[in-house]
Structure 1
Amino acid sequence: MPAIVGAVKVNSVSASAIFNIGDVYSMNPNSSAKTYAGGGSFNTGDGIRIDLNQSHTYVYDKDKLDQPVT
């Protein structure tokens, strides 16, 4: 069934968003990110105490490409 669309004003669309006007069969947004985090990085809550002594996060990536988004 055809869509009837009136006036549209778009102020902005982010890099990982989809903007569509009209009929659509399938929409598949794709994005990727690489996050480096050491031990205890994503802890949340009240009164958390982390003692990692000499913790290191190594970020060397020799192949430069993990999983491409196409």
Structure 2
Amino acid sequence: MKIGIEVFKGYLRLRFPSALFNGNQKYFLLNLADTIENRLAAEVKAKQIELDIIASYFDPSLGKYKAELFTG
């Protein structure tokens, strides 16, 4: 499943496939401004989540991914 990267009000967010959440659309705001460097960081985060989905380690509460957010 593909995780999308979008810009919302100048910040990057991830868009999850609705199939992961019983047909409901979910977003994950990264609190990163839309810059080239931050887009690369968002791509890495999206790929990590995609790998978790494939390996059946996906955390639908998204808590795992908040704890792993970039600390600068």
TM range (shorter): under 0.3
Flag the structure with higher strand content: 2
Could you tell me the TM-score, scaled by structure 2's length?
0.21
